Amino acid sequence: MTTDPKEPDSQAHKRVKLAEYEGWKCAPHVADFDKHVAVMCWYKPGNGEWQTEQLPDYFGDLNVVCQSVSRLPVWSPGQQLSGTQQAFTHELELVCSKPDRPASHVEVTNASAEQRAEALGIALGLWRRPAPMV
């Protein structure tokens, strides 16, 4: 996986997609003259002031990604499955699976933040499941 935020498969790009889905709003780029790098400013959900904020680390912080999953609706008959807790669980089982066998209950229960964030983005339709390796 690449780390270039412009690459659609990079964790940085996926992190932005998850944050925007959760209501983070991007502000125009501003220059950080002390470090000579561009800094992204974000509105936090529900906050009307510009802040230079780090986006939640969905791929590195288990608490952050679990909070996001807990806000997903529970599927009910007649409802679209995409974007529900059940869709997330299904995708997490696939993300945790090995090419030669499905994931065990223990593997799914002990999934990393990275695995959970990947499954969350797929369940929400923010990106596609990678092609299986043969």
Phi, psi of 10 (to 5 degrees): -75, 150
CA atoms within 13 A on the CB side of 75: 15
The Cα–Cα gap between 12 and 35 comes to: 20
> Under a CB-based contact definition with an 8 Å cutoff, are residues 92 and 111 in contact?
yes
Predicted confidence at residue 48, as pLDDT, reads 64
pLDDT grade for 134, boundaries at 50, 70 and 90: low
For 40-75, what is each residue's pLDDT tens digit? 677 777 766 666 667 889 999 999 999 999 999 988
For 74-119, what is each residue's pLDDT tens digit? 888 887 777 899 999 999 999 999 888 999 999 999 999 999 999 9
Domain boundaries, the chain: 1-56, 57-126
Predicted confidence at residue 35, as pLDDT, reads 41
DSSP 83-123: TSHHHHHHHHHHHH-BTTBPPPHHHHHT--HHHHHHHHHHH
